[in-house]
Amino acid sequence: MEINRVLDRGSHLLIPYQETTDITISSKKFDDFDIVGLENNRTGKYGGCLNIIKYLSGGNLRIRAIKSSDDSFIITYKNNGSKDKVVINGEEIEINLDDTTISLTIDDEIKMQIHIISNDEMIDQEVIKEIEAKNEELITQNSSLKKQYEKLKQENEQLVKDNEQLKQDYQILKAQNETIIKENENYKKDIKELNETFNQNQSQNDLLQKQFDGTLRHYGITKDVFEEYKEENNSQKIKDILNNIQTELKEAEDLLKEYIEKKQKQVNQIRQKIKPE
């Protein structure tokens, strides 16, 4: 089995263990040439570290770090009976799992270290169980999130419907409000006309009063004398003048009263229709 995969900084690769497993490792170049992985051992410009964990009881090979260069190279791990070997670019190097560090030099330029982790340092099966439990927890959370999503989706659809209804209600109220505003403007015009008519009638009434006063002056009668003759009824001439004037005033007053009553009814009707803006 051959696995070709580019590992990013800090990534882990877990592969099944076989007697021969070819792993092509390509490291991405970083400007600072930092070590990629958990260890921080480096030698020279291309220094790096490759941590290999062999699970003697389960059979897994775990790559935890790679060197920080642009070069790609093949590492093959072999277990031939009691011998453990690492083959790098065709060069077979025998290793001892009891050793903790093996230094390698490739092509007299690329220097790296392989750190062998003993059985005591291997990842316990409990870690795998924790990962599986975490995975189950994530599945449960995902199911719960799906239910929440469906609920929120339904609520959102209902909100969209409510919003459409509100839009329709708004348009209806807007049209009604515009109608009321137009009616109020018409009522304002009517009230203005009534006020102008009232003022005209008041002016006409004042004019009649001035004409009456002028008539008295024409006959050389002062208001005091007029009131005196009016009370004593001693002058038939004054009586006639008074009667004529009173008749004219009464007719004008009746006409004015009738007009005002008619307009007052219109005003009352308008006031009942007017709504506050």
- Would you state the pLDDT for residue 4? 45
Question: Measuring CA to CA, which residue among 38, 52, 36 is closest to residue 102?
Answer: 52
Average pLDDT over residues 183-190: 82
Which residues neighbour 94 within 8 Å (Cβ) at sequence distance 6 or greater?
83, 84, 85
- Give the pLDDT score at 70: 39
With bands split at pLDDT 50, 70 and 90, how would you rate the model's confidence at 129?
low
Query: Does the pLDDT value for residue 274 go beyond 50?
Result: yes
- Work out the pLDDT band at 64, boundaries 50, 70, 90: very low
Angle at 15 between CA 50 and CA 60, to 5 degrees: 85
Among 46, 59, 51, 40, smallest CA distance to 13 is for: 51
More confident residue, 94 or 273: 273
212, burial (CB in 10 Å: exposed 0-12, middle 13-18, buried 19+):
middle
Q: What is the pLDDT at residue 234?
A: 55
- Separation between Cα atoms, residue 229 and residue 220, nearest integer Å: 13
The mean predicted confidence, pLDDT, of the chain is 61
pLDDT given at position 8 = 44
Rounded CA separation 269/273 (Å): 6
Residue 209 is predicted with a pLDDT of 78
